[in-house]
Structure 1
Amino acid sequence: MAGDIRVLSLYEGFFSGGARILHSDVLAGLHGQGQRHRVLSIHGQALREQTLQPMRNDASYRKLVAAGLPVTALRAGHSGPAEFDAAELAAYERTLSDVDVVLTLKEQPLRLVNQGGFGGKPVIACLHRSDPENQGPALDELRTAVDTGAIAALVCCAESTRDAYRAVGIPGELLEVIPNGVDSRRFRPDRWARARVRRALGIASDAPVIAFAARYDQMKNVPLFLASAAAFLAAQPNAHVIMCGAGMTADNLCLTADLAQVGLGSSSRVHCLGVRDDPQTLYAAADVVSLTSAFGEAAPLCLIEGMMCGAVPVATDVGDCAAIVAGRGLITEPDPDAIAAAWHQALARRNHLRPALRATRVEFGRRRMIDSYGRLIRRVSARPRIPLGAAA
């Protein structure tokens, strides 16, 4: 409609991951509510964790299209040179000419802004990690965008994100925390889904189940999770472990080697389910949702989504995990025996923690998050700006 704020989001690509799910949820929630959103992805495919993920097969892509957002890609494939060619820059400039505000999902797409310019349009970069120096050239791209005056604001999904970027010299006045939230209508306790998933996987209704939703990546410390699972399953003969995410399949030879290393290579109690469009059903089937990450996490969606489905969160102390889990679950040392013991404790305390888990449905609901993004976009779009680079 006339008068709506026109917003362009830049993605590096579409692939399974919490940040893309969250950002796409925000756009779908804001589109048509005084704002018109569209997405330009640099790549039409993604190759991550040994999994080729075409954009059009991605759940976030389908969600955006169903909500009426135009979604296009600059490049058809999953790779390309760091420098954009003239045709790609021209396509970007045409898209940019018809928007009021630019969002970038993480700092990686800022390379397109830095090469193609920002046309005086305010840019908001959305940051979702707590290790800015561990992402290749991304931090340099962010610094360049700040120095040229492109950046109007930086959204941090967690306090740990703001702290980390401020520590590497990003101006604190640009950093604004908007905590992650999820759809409480989708992520909720569901006894029918719990029974259905357990029946499909051959898991008894009273068996303890640990869920692990993560891509196969060094950051997620999958070998630590598997070592913990081996210790736990040895002590709990009827327990099961559910794993989902990119690379969490028998086709991933690294994962199968990790399983064999801890003696779980042929276990029928470890279920590797790969990328799923229905993680809420897996959380509903679980008793505990676990995260064993070594670094990089900010406010992991898997913990929030699992809690909202009734699973007790158990996590290592990275990012904002301690604040998310406080009073609802357990923080543990990154040691297999300690993690297995924490899972046992979480199972023992599950009934006691149920009221606190129910309360997360209000605290971590998506409405507050979406409204906060909407207010920031309106504020930035109305702000008169003098690009620092132009002034210099």
Structure 2
Amino acid sequence: MSHEIGVLSLYEGFFRGGARILHTDVLAGLHGRGQRHRVLSIHENVYREATFQRMRDDACYQRLVAAGIPVTALRGAGPADAGPESARFTDHELSLFQREATASRVVVTLKEQPLRLVNQAGWAGPVVTCLHRSDPENQGSALTELRAAVAAGRVTALICCADATKSAYRAAGFPDSLLHVIPNGVDLRRFRPDRFARARLRRAFAIPHEAPVVAFAARYDGMKNVPLFLAAAARFLAQRPTAHVLMCGTGMTRDNEKLLADLRVTGLEGSSRVHLLGPRDDPQALFAAADVVALTSTFGEAAPLCLIEGLLCGAIPVATDVGDCAAIVAGRGLLTAPDADAIAAAWCEALARRTEFTPALLAAREQFGRRRMLAAYAALIWRADGHSARRRPSRVLEPVG
């Protein structure tokens, strides 16, 4: 390789979520192919979604390290001080960031929250910020930090994972010249229909082969509207006596008192057909075992990774109309009103129309593969560094997926 550039990615922490999973996939796909990536996490450990999450236990951290990407933490936060709005950075912390950033050519921030570090350090840039939501006004001080970074000329590009994200940030006053849509993509080798994984997971939870299964993959967060999902699940399970519901993600365990309260309200607390699986590192097995992948969010979503991963594994997507869900679901599943009865009815309709949707799910593989996503990220990072197209290495992608 004739030339490589260093890229430093800034994270708030290694808490579970689709944005970190996607960013990890991007870094693993680009590292060593014209770019040398590093990750600096502001917090080593975080407490979110009623769960204490250690960086070194996290699947994204482990994958980055396995790919040869150095990962360090700025501060060893614990449950009491792991929130994104923690105190200002010390001189020592700012010095550590300056050292890491100076060793790179481009700084990439996962969402806008880490820009508080960039702004306090007075880092000149170039900075590329990845945006993964469609509600910029609903994220504490993050929007203020983003505006400050853009006004200071530090930010050279804003990567939007969805058209809905671009529209929302344009409406918030950011210029089109900064906003670039790069749709989410996933590894097709990993996310695919798999009858063996389907059989294994169903067997593990004593779910009959022919039983209808709805999967819900989300962290326990207000944006995900877990109470609405459970209200719909109660109606669905009452109508389908053999059906089961799988819930995975951070906070989806019986250790979460808020989730237990939601289950009690809907009468599902003791149900043997509601499976709380907590965080899992094999979402492809969950989706392969499901017939429907559900999303009940009512705000904030952009291009939910769970819908894309689920449909690529053969589960029919049924979602509320938020973010880019309509485009993801179009012809492959169903949109539904944010109403428990309507959602339960949509799950039943999706099951009845399974043979109709299956060809469209199979045809979606090329659209949602990650090849174009990786190429677009690579090109934008190179442009941020100021390199012309003729100096870019031609091989920036993995062979398949």
Calculate the TM-score normalised by the size of structure 1.
0.96
SS of equivalent to 1:155: strand
- Alpha-carbon separation, structure 2, partners of 1:359 and 1:11: 35
- What residue number does 1:389 align with? none
**CA deviation after TM superposition for structure 1 residue 265, in Å:** 0.8
- Alpha-carbon separation, structure 2, partners of 1:299 and 1:237: 32
8 Å CA contact retained: 2:125, 2:155:
no
Q: Write the deviation string for residues 332-363 of structure 1: whole angstroms up to 9, x where unpaired.
A: 00111100000000001111111100112110
- What residue number does 2:3 align with? 3
- What residue number does 2:399 align with? none
- Alpha-carbon separation, structure 1, partners of 2:387 and 2:204: 54
- Alpha-carbon separation, structure 2, partners of 1:93 and 1:167: 33
**CA deviation after TM superposition for structure 1 residue 76, in Å:** 1.1
- What residue number does 1:286 align with? 290
**CA deviation after TM superposition for structure 1 residue 3, in Å:** 2.3
**CA deviation after TM superposition for structure 1 residue 106, in Å:** 0.1
- What residue number does 2:240 align with? 236
Asked whether 1:266 is paired with 2:270, we answer yes
- What residue number does 1:111 align with? 116
Q: Write the deviation string for residues 18-54 of structure 1: whole angstroms up to 9, x where unpaired.
A: 0000001000100000100000000001111010110
- Alpha-carbon separation, structure 2, partners of 1:192 and 1:117: 53
- What residue number does 1:34 align with? 34
- What residue number does 2:345 align with? 341
Q: Pick from 197, 217, 220: which aligns with 1:216? A: 220
Q: Write the deviation string for residues 283-339 of structure 1: whole angstroms up to 9, x where unpaired.
A: 000000000001000000000000000000000000000010000000000111100
- Alpha-carbon separation, structure 2, partners of 1:370 and 1:383: 18
- Alpha-carbon separation, structure 2, partners of 1:190 and 1:52: 32
Q: Pick from 365, 371, 377: which aligns with 1:367? A: 371
Gaps of 5+ in 2: 389-401
- Alpha-carbon separation, structure 1, partners of 2:112 and 2:2: 30
SS of equivalent to 2:385: helix
- What residue number does 1:205 align with? 209
Q: Write the deviation string for residues 147-199 of structure 1: whole angstroms up to 9, x where unpaired.
A: 00000000000000000001011122100000000111101101011000000
Q: After the TM superposition, which of the residue ranges 1-10 and 272-281 deviates more from structure 2? A: 1-10
- Alpha-carbon separation, structure 2, partners of 1:170 and 1:15: 28
Q: How many residues align?
A: 383
- What residue number does 2:357 align with? 353
- Alpha-carbon separation, structure 2, partners of 1:350 and 1:182: 23
- Alpha-carbon separation, structure 2, partners of 1:152 and 1:383: 13
- Alpha-carbon separation, structure 2, partners of 1:194 and 1:311: 11
Identity of aligned residues (%): 68
* 1:68 partner letter: G
- Alpha-carbon separation, structure 1, partners of 2:364 and 2:20: 22
SS of equivalent to 2:68: coil
Give runs of aligned pairs for residues 66-85 of structure 1, distance below 5 A.
Answer: 66-78=66-78, 79=81, 81-85=86-90
- Alpha-carbon separation, structure 2, partners of 1:228 and 1:373: 38
- Alpha-carbon separation, structure 1, partners of 2:290 and 2:61: 27
Give runs of aligned pairs for residues 4-23 of structure 1, distance below 5 A.
Answer: 4-23=4-23
Asked whether 1:178 is paired with 2:171, we answer no
- Alpha-carbon separation, structure 2, partners of 1:237 and 1:251: 27
Calculate the TM-score normalised by the size of structure 2.
0.94
8 Å CA contact retained: 2:248, 2:280:
yes
8 Å CA contact retained: 2:218, 2:224:
yes
- Alpha-carbon separation, structure 1, partners of 2:268 and 2:166: 39
- Alpha-carbon separation, structure 2, partners of 1:323 and 1:121: 34
- Alpha-carbon separation, structure 2, partners of 1:73 and 1:326: 41
Q: Write the deviation string for residues 46-97 of structure 1: whole angstroms up to 9, x where unpaired.
A: 1110101101111111111010000000011242643100110111111111
* 1:341 partner letter: A
- What residue number does 2:299 align with? 295
SS of equivalent to 1:224: helix
Q: Write the deviation string for residues 233-283 of structure 1: whole angstroms up to 9, x where unpaired.
A: 000000000000010001111111111111111000000000000011000
**CA deviation after TM superposition for structure 1 residue 383, in Å:** 5.9
**CA deviation after TM superposition for structure 1 residue 11, in Å:** 0.3
- What residue number does 2:396 align with? none
Gaps of 5+ in 1: 385-392
The runs of 4+ residues in structure 1 deviating greater than 2 Å are: 78-82
- What residue number does 1:52 align with? 52
- Alpha-carbon separation, structure 1, partners of 2:63 and 2:255: 27
- Alpha-carbon separation, structure 2, partners of 1:82 and 1:348: 53
SS of equivalent to 2:322: coil
